C-alpha cells in the first residue's frame, strides 16, 4: 500500500470490538510514534498507554462517551513543556505541534495494521492530568482509543477539493 492509499484508509472509528490488541502491533505503533519528527529534534512527547480497567475508568471521566469505553487500549499523547522547543522570535511553544505529529503517526500506523483510532481533543484536561497523575510540565494534547473496528468502513469522508485549499502563488 502506498502512502496515499494509507491516508485514504484512515478513519475515525467510534465502535470497537472487545478483541485485545496484540503486543507486537502496539509496540509497532508506538515505535512509529517515537520516530516522528519534532522541532529541533526535542522529542518532547510522552505516550501513556492505558490498558488496565481501573485506569481506563479514570480516563473515561475526562471524556465520558459510551463508544470511548469500548476500546481495549487508549493512548494519551502528552507534551513535556520543559523539553519542547520555543521559537526565538516570538516564544511560540511547539509542544502541541510535535505531539500532534506523533499522534498522527499513531493513527496511520494503526490503520496500516487494520486497527482503528479516533483523534480526541475535546476532553477535560484537568481530569486527564488527575487520572494519569501527570507531572506539572507534562500536558495531555490528544487521546486516541485503539482497537479493532466493530464495523466496516463506511462511505469515503468528504473532503474539500484541491482548488479550495491550495494557493499557488
The pLDDT score that the predictor gives to residue 157 is 78
The predicted-structure confidence for 96-115, as pLDDT tens digits, reads as follows 999 999 999 999 999 999 99
Q: What is the dihedral of CA 94, 96, 98, 100, to 10 degrees?
A: -150
The predicted-structure confidence for 56-84, as pLDDT tens digits, reads as follows 999 999 999 999 999 999 999 999 999 99
E strands, 32-156, are 45-50, 73-80, 116-117, 138-147
Please give the order of strands across the beta sheet that includes 116-117: 45-50, 73-80, 138-147, 116-117
Cα 107 to the chain's mean position, in Å?
A: 6
> What angle separates helix 125-132 from helix 53-60, to the nearest 10 degrees?
160
- Mean residue pLDDT of the chain comes to 95
Domains of the chain, CATH where assigned: 22-149 (3.40.109.10)
Q: How far is CA 161 from CA 11, 164, 166, 168, in A?
A: 18, 5, 9, 14
The predicted-structure confidence for 107-158, as pLDDT tens digits, reads as follows 999 999 999 999 999 999 999 999 999 999 999 999 999 999 998 776 677 8
| Residue 169, pLDDT above cutoff 90 | yes
Look-up of cell digits 466496516: 152
Residues 18-33 as b/e (b if ≥16 CB within 10 A, e otherwise) read: eeebeeebbeebbebb
What's the whole-model pTM score?
Answer: 0.94
Amino acid at each position: 500500500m502506498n502512502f496515499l492509499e494509507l491516508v485514504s484508509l484512515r478513519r475515525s472509528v467510534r465502535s470497537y470490538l472487545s478483541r485485545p490488541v496484540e503486543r507486537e502491533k502496539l509496540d509497532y505503533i508506538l515505535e512509529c510514534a517515537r520516530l516522528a519528527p519534532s522541532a529541533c529534534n526535542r522529542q518532547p512527547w510522552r505516550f501513556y498507554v492505558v490498558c488496565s480497567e481501573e485506569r481506563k475508568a479514570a480516563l473515561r471521566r475526562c471524556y465520558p462517551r459510551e463508544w470511548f469505553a469500548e476500546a481495549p487500549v487508549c493512548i494519551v499523547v502528552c507534551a513535556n513543556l520543559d523539553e519542547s522547543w520555543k521559537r526565538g522570535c516570538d516564544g511560540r511553544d511547539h509542544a502541541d505541534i510535535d505531539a500532534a505529529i506523533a499522534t498522527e503517526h499513531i493513527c496511520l500506523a494503526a490503520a496500516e495494521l487494520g486497527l482503528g483510532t479516533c483523534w480526541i481533543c475535546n476532553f477535560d484536561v484537568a481530569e486527564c492530568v488527575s487520572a494519569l497523575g501527570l507531572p506539572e510540565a507534562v500536558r495531555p494534547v490528544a487521546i486516541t482509543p485503539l482497537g479493532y473496528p466493530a464495523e466496516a468502513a463506511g462511505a469515503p469522508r468528504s473532503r474539500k477539493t484541491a482548488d479550495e485549499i491550495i494557493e499557488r502563488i
